[in-house]
A and B are shown apart, each in its own frame.
Chain A
Amino acid sequence: MSFPRGKTAVVGAATFGIGAAPGYTAAELLAKASLAAIADAGLTPADIDGVFAMLPQDPFCALSVPEYLGIRPRVVESTRTGGSAFQIHAMWAAMALDAGLCDAVLIAYGSNQRSASGGLVSSGAAPFPYEQAYKPRNPPSSYALAAALHMHEYGTTREHLAEVAVAARKWAQLNPDAFVRDPLTIEDVLAARMVSDPLTVRDCCLVTDGAAAVVMTRADRARDLAQSPAYLLGAASATWFKNISEASDLTVTAASEAGARAYAQAGVKPADIDVAELYDAFTINTILFLEDLGFCPKGEGGRFVANGGIAPGGRFPVNTNGGGLSCVHPGMYGLFTMVEAVTQLRGNAGARQVQGAKLALAHGNGGTLSSQSVAIFGTEETL
């Protein structure tokens, strides 16, 4: 069975509570985004018969989310691969919709981690004494190890890393929903407090609240709904390890495998993509994923982002909402890349709109560069 290219589409998309949303539970945030996405599609909760949900602190979110929304789904799914889960949800949603297992899938995420705890919340991961004994400050230290090796092998510099943060901030300044929009310079990033060398606090994503949701249907139904469909042309994931000490090569991620499969499904190549939303939990991520997803050769990511390469007006638009670095990062960010890809394809991105965007790539990263997922969306004319 091949991937049902263009047979399904995102027909509703929304976010809620980006930034700080004090007083809400994670489930409430998820529900607010979900109801907005369902309404955006011109549907009601009663139309949803597939619920693919993620609440990080709730192992039973596949049950509690449908209960909260008053849905008795025919299909549920709650892949726990971290922030890459949502592109995987989209992959399974496309297969389930195309097979007729269900007719309308809600993919939803919510977290109140900023307001509830004042900081990062535990992932609930199993103990791993072979790393914990050494007290890496995770997740930053794991990504720092990858950054250090990339710098050593390819001549990537801290200024290159800072370029990623500055580009994200410049996009955020064009996005009224982005949480942090203050000016940021290369010098600011370099002078910021070091967290785990070579990453400063400005090389690290935000810690925010926030929720996101999308609704998917088959393409025939999508054409009759309220919004221009964002057709899912390809979706794939790859999982290579969990702990960073188990990575075989810190400078190559599973995005290289997931991306190749998603491109093949979609029948497109990296040069065809008009806008890329990459999971930028740390500045090194964007550089690694630009390489692994074929936007530049391996090792060239630092030079690709230099001189505003991925900032507004640069050579290639990346993370146009401001990314996890400047827009929103509520523990898991992967669904927000999909919402922004859809927003760009609809032409609804306002001052940050990539003119004429027809093909958008939304990427997810889970764990410590462990699980990688890619979804490629296109407008009607890409079918």
Chain B
Amino acid sequence: MHPEQEYLAFLAEGRFMLQRSKGSGTYVFHPRVAVPGTGEQDLEWVEASGRGVVYSTTVVRNKPPLENYNVALIDLAEGVRMMSRVVDMDPTQVWIGMKVIANVSEIEGIPAVVFTEERT
């Protein structure tokens, strides 16, 4: 397994994948060669559920004409946390505890997992 290369290759295909230990079921993010702390190397790729909750949020401020944008930490349903952006809304209106859904998109031409507010 080449974790970083494979993760980024999945993203380029439009797939958001997480690592999971076959033995313990522990999810791992960011991608690694082993489960942090325990060292289990029996990792396999599984499709992420895409469900998450905003753990914290900030707005990166820019001088016009550059736009402000959101940067957030997202707690995924699988129990791991990742940095991302909550998009398709006013970046100042993202709130801690907000439920969000993942999409594979692009930021400045680079494939990236971003999130939008979960509509119920």
Contact = CB atoms under 8 A, between A and B. Distances in A.
B83 interface: yes
Contacts of A246: 30, 81
Contacts of B60: 135-137, 141, 196
B107 A149 contact: no
A245 interface: yes
B117 to A, nearest CB: 17
A244 to B, nearest CB: 7
Nearest to B57: A148
Interface residues on B, range: 20 to 34
Interface string B77-120: 00001111100000010001000000000011010100000000
Nearest to B8: A129
A133 B112 contact: yes
A144 B8 CA distance: 27
Contacts of A244: 73, 83
A194 B84 CA distance: 20
B107 A152 contact: no
A252 interface: no
Interface in A139-197: 141, 144-146, 148-149, 152, 193-197
Given A134-B71, A136-B83, A141-B60, A149 B112 contact: no
Given A145-B57, A197-B59, A133 B107 contact: yes
A152 B73 CA distance: 14
A195 B83 CA distance: 18
Contacts, number: 74
A227 B38 CA distance: 50
Interface string B27-59: 001100000000000000000000000011111
B22 interface: no
Contacts of A135: 60, 69, 71, 107-108
Main secondary structure of the interface of B (DSSP, over half): strand
B92 A197 contact: yes
A224 interface: no
B11 to A, nearest CB: 9
Contacts of A197: 58-59, 61, 92
B73 to A, nearest CB: 6
B58 A245 contact: no
Contacts of A148: 56-58, 96
B61 A194 contact: yes
Interface of B: 4, 8, 29-30, 55-61, 69, 71-73, 81-85, 92, 96, 107-108, 110, 112
24 contacts: A128-B30, A129-B4, A129-B8, A130-B30, A130-B83, A131-B83, A134-B83, A134-B85, A135-B60, A136-B60, A137-B60, A141-B71, A145-B56, A145-B58, A145-B71, A145-B72, A145-B73, A149-B96, A152-B96, A196-B58, A197-B59, A244-B73, A245-B83, A250-B55
Given A129-B4, A130-B83, A133-B107, 6 more contacts: A135-B107, A145-B58, A196-B59, A196-B60, A197-B59, A250-B56
